[in-house]
Structure 1
Amino acid sequence: MQMLKLGGILNIIIAVAHIIGLFWAEQFFEKTGAGKPMQELAEIETTLPYILTIIVAIIFFIFGLYGLSASGKLRKLPYLKIGIYTIAFIYLFRGIGEQSYNIIMGTTNNNETVQSIVAIGIGILYLFGGLKKWNNKKNKERTI
């Protein structure tokens, strides 16, 4: 359960970092590699980068709640098992997919590599945490 707890805490930290980053939005977007796309969104509507960042922070926060719920630190959330595996898939797809694309296109850089490694790490926490949680339950039921 510790893997899911750690994954949940990391997601909540990421969510809070997104909100704090909005106080220095331009620098935050540049550091995370989202500077140009956010600049293009701001040309359409100045509030869009802020709204999008808040939505992303909410998603990370929800991912965090699911990790903490699966670890037993919060009440059980709906669709917990499928939620944990979906979150794991999203993180692994993001980490492996983006890094693979960048390598193929020759556009990889240190910042994107670190972000991909973090995404893969969190994906592994959710995947193996979920497998441990639900495989242990099955094993306990078989021995009873």
Structure 2
Amino acid sequence: MLRLGGYINIIISFGHIIGLFWAEKMFEVTGIGHEMQLLSAIHPILPYALTVFVAVIFFIFGLYGLSATHQYKKLPFQKPVIFTISGIYLLRGLGELISHSWNGTNTYPETFYSLFAVIIGLLYLLGGLGSRLGKQETSIRTLVD
């Protein structure tokens, strides 16, 4: 599960970098076009710098997922970071779903992104619990592989 979560994060990271070639369209599709216009009013490079920063964060999340499955060298603070990544994704996904439901502002793309975040968060949570981060993964891993 952590391996899958790791690869998904790396793909998301590369998607952010590739999306910079069509930045305005990517910002509009993801629903952050207005916010990025405000940032570009401060300085034109800020939306691009922020996107690269976010891509680096996704890449690091991916490396931690792969590291926990011994696909990559062991990274520091592996156990707390895996569960922190899980918490970030679950908070983002569930928080957005609940907030938009209460406000009646659900949109299909936002619901999709939120559900996707919940799935990734569960991959990290269940993968972290199942592998005990250092021991052989149990039956949870066999369900995925």
Q: TM-score if structure 2 supplies the norm length? A: 0.91
2:16 aligned residue: 18
Q: Is the 8 A contact 2:2 2:128 kept in 1?
A: yes
Q: Per-residue deviation at 1:136?
A: 8.7
Q: Which runs of 4+ in 1 moved over 3 A?
A: 135-138
Letter in 1 for 2:39: L
Letter in 2 for 1:55: F
Tell me the alpha carbon deviations over residues 20-66 of structure 1, each in whole angstroms, 9 at most, x when there is no partner: 00000000000111111001111111110000000000000000000
- 1:113 pairs, out of 111, 114, 125, with 111
* Structural mapping, 1:19-58, within 5 Å: 19-58=17-56
Q: Identity, % of aligned pairs?
A: 55
Distance in 2 of aligned mates of 1:76 and 1:41: 37
Distance in 1 of aligned mates of 2:4 and 2:66: 8
Distance in 1 of aligned mates of 2:133 and 2:60: 24
1:7 aligned residue: 5
Task: Sort the Cα spacing of 1:103 and 1:52 in 2 relative to 1 into closer, same or farther, 3 A.
Answer: same
**For 2:132, what is the secondary structure of its paired residue?**
helix
Unpaired segments ≥5 residues, structure 2: 139-145
Q: Per-residue deviation at 1:74?
A: 0.4
Letter in 2 for 1:44: I
Q: Is the 8 A contact 2:67 2:75 kept in 1?
A: yes
Q: Per-residue deviation at 1:137?
A: 3.7
- 2:120 pairs, out of 102, 114, 122, with 122
Q: Per-residue deviation at 1:106?
A: 1.1
**For 1:72, what is the secondary structure of its paired residue?**
coil
**For 1:75, what is the secondary structure of its paired residue?**
coil
Unpaired segments ≥5 residues, structure 1: none
Q: TM-score if structure 1 supplies the norm length? A: 0.92
**For 1:13, what is the secondary structure of its paired residue?**
helix
